[in-house]
Amino acid sequence: AALPDWLAADENHRRGEFALLVFGPPADAAQEDSKSSLTALGFKAMQVLSEAMPPRQAAKLAARISGDAADLLYQAQLARKK
């Protein structure tokens, strides 16, 4: 939000290059969010593994591969089958 003001404040600010730093959410928020969502890797691993083994076992292995929560992977697979 401050960038337009900074650029307008001085003609020289619009010359050359400058660095723009963009920060994500705080680590705690990202960690909390990862507990409630699945990664693409986890979802794909669950799909492939569930073709060869029971869903609960597939969820445990997919969780080890992706770092996602096994219970979320299992619930996603059950919802997918409905």
Considering its fold, how many domains does the chain have in total?
1
Which residue, among 40, 7, 2, has the nearest Cα to 21 in the 3D structure?
2
Evaluate if residue 12 carries a pLDDT over 80: yes
Other Cβ atoms closer than 10 A to 69: 17
Range of the domain at 8: 3-81
pLDDT in tens, 14-68: 887 877 777 766 666 545 555 568 889 999 999 999 999 999 999 999 999 999 9
- In the 8-state DSSP scheme, what is residue 3? H
Evaluate if residue 2 carries a pLDDT over 60: yes
- On whether the pTM is more than 0.85, the answer is no
Long-range contact pairs involving 20-24 (C-beta distance under 8 Å, separation at least 24) = none
